């Protein structure tokens, strides 16, 4: 029997560091762009366009992506595309409405929503032990503490709270839909990411107009092109805003592409338990960097909320890991019993053959 070697600790550590760096970079760079011009749809459109270009440049030569696919395949991926599109839109609108240091807290209901939806829509539903449910309760307490204290201090609006809850729900829906497509779909993960991104690009144009961002960029462009000497300062300022937004949007596109690569690497070398704990720890690091780089406010309410979310994530992952270990022990015991029965049967047959 061949035993697959587990990845080294160095490889796991470097992969986790790479993935976390990409994820934090995407969030902080996106927030920096949105602080300049609050245009989430335009940011996502440019980000997705850059990501499609890079996915094509890397995936096509390696055979991960095929241009020619049947129309039925494109139609079959529309639900996945819509789930991903709504999820990323909700996340970006949430990021535009709250501080980056509060972003992880505002989306603190992601795990509870995911567990709830998985219970109703995944068959068989995953088992969650009482310890994991207790950890989920700690995360919910962290969300409530952080949002209530921020609302009380008028650091966050009701809009930010609602977008945080909505973003958590849509991301949970996205995760359930992606899981169902991965288990039933015939296309590879790279192919599905590329195809859904291509279809999403077609959706951004009407959203660009409906959201009113067209008028924002139109007025900025007119100001930047104004040759009147009296408006020279305003023209320079508008031009600087446009260029800064385009550069940061391109940077988020490149970081998102690297995040896609990092996600595949992390899936291959880490366990779900490690992923849960790393995600929570990444939120703490992200909040700290947002305070240092973006000069955001830090409060005791936010600190306590992050402690609850980090601790709850660790407890949830610990509970799931204990169940997994017990299941593996039972499975191994069953295998050993079957092997023992086979060996006993073979020895009996050998005795009978010797008698003959």
Closest CA relative to residue 156, chosen from 306, 40, 296: 296
Angle at the Cα of 290 from the Cα atoms of 20 and 178, rounded to 5 degrees: 40
To the nearest whole percent, how much of the chain has pLDDT over 70?
Answer: 84
Q: Is the pLDDT of residue 53 over 90?
A: yes
What is residue 92's predicted lDDT score, i.e. its pLDDT?
92
For residue 52, the 8-state DSSP code is H
Cα–chain center distance at 162? 19
The predicted-structure confidence for 68-80, as pLDDT tens digits, reads as follows 888 888 988 898 8
Peptide bond into 124 cis (omega under 30): yes
The residue-averaged pLDDT of 147-151 equals 90
pLDDT confidence tier of residue 347, bands split at 50, 70 and 90:
very low
Which residues 6+ apart lie within 8 Å of 232 measured at CB?
Answer: none
Q: Is the pLDDT of residue 192 over 70?
A: yes
What is residue 28's predicted lDDT score, i.e. its pLDDT?
92
Position of tokens 């829906």?
A: 173
Q: Which of 91-100, 116-125, 202-211, 264-273 has the lowest mean pLDDT?
A: 264-273
Q: What angle, rounded to 10 degrees, do the helices at 110-121 and 158-184 form?
A: 40
The C-alpha atoms of residue 84 and residue 194 are separated, in whole angstroms, by: 12
Q: For residue 107, with 0-12 CB atoms within 10 Å meaning exposed, 13-18 middle and 19 or more buried, which class applies? A: buried
Distances in Å between the Cα of 162 and the Cα atoms of 42, 77, 151 are: 22, 29, 12
Task: Please check whether residue 28 is in contact with residue 282, taking contact to mean a CB–CB distance below 8 angstroms.
Answer: no
To the nearest whole percent, how much of the chain has pLDDT over 90?
Answer: 23
Q: Which residue has the higher pLDDT, 334 or 224?
A: 224
What is residue 182's predicted lDDT score, i.e. its pLDDT?
66
What is residue 162's predicted lDDT score, i.e. its pLDDT?
92
What is residue 275's predicted lDDT score, i.e. its pLDDT?
65
Task: Please check whether residue 321 is in contact with residue 276, taking contact to mean a CB–CB distance below 8 angstroms.
Answer: no
| Averaged pLDDT of the chain | 81
What is residue 17's predicted lDDT score, i.e. its pLDDT?
86
For residue 156, the 8-state DSSP code is S
Cα Rg of the chain, angstroms: 25
The residue-averaged pLDDT of 274-289 equals 76
Most confident of 122-126, 259-263, 309-313: 309-313
The C-alpha atoms of residue 94 and residue 106 are separated, in whole angstroms, by: 8
């Amino acid at each position: 029997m061949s035993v697959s070697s587990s990845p080294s600790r160095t490889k796991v550590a470097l992969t986790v560091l790479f993935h976390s760096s990409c994820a934090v970079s995407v969030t902080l760079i996106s927030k920096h762009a949105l602080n300049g011009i609050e245009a989430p749809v335009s940011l996502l459109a440019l980000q997705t366009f850059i990501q499609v270009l890079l996915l094509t440049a890397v995936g096509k030569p390696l055979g991960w992506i095929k241009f020619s696919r049947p129309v039925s395949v494109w139609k079959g991926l529309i639900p996945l595309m819509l789930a991903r599109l709504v999820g990323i839109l909700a996340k970006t609108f949430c990021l535009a409405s709250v501080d980056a240091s509060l972003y992880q807290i505002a989306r603190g209901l992601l795990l509870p929503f995911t567990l709830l939806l998985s219970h109703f829509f995944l068959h068989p539903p995953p088992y969650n032990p009482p310890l994991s449910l207790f950890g989920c309760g700690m995360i919910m307490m962290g969300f409530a503490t952080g949002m209530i204290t921020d609302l009380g201090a008028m650091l966050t609006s009701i809009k930010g709270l609602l977008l945080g809850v909505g973003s958590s729900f849509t991301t949970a829906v996205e995760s359930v839909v992606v899981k169902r497509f991965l288990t039933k779909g015939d296309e590879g993960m790279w192919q599905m990411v590329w195809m859904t991104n291509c279809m999403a690009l077609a959706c951004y144009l009407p959203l660009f107009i409906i959201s009113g961002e067209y008028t924002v960029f139109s007025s900025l462009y007119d100001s930047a092109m104004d040759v009147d000497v009296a408006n020279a300062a305003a023209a320079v300022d508008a031009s600087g805003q446009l260029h800064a937004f385009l550069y940061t949007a391109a940077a988020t596109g490149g970081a998102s592409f690297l995040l896609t690569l990092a996600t595949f690497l992390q899936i291959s070398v880490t366990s779900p338990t490690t992923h849960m704990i790393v995600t929570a720890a990444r939120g703490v690091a992200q909040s700290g960097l947002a305070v240092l780089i973006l000069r955001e406010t830090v409060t005791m309410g936010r600190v306590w909320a992050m402690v609850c979310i980090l601790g709850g994530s660790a407890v949830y992952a610990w509970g799931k890991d204990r169940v997994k270990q017990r299941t593996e022990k039972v499975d191994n015991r069953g295998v050993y019993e079957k092997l023992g029965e086979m060996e006993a049967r073979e020895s009996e047959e050998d005795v009978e053959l010797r008698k003959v």
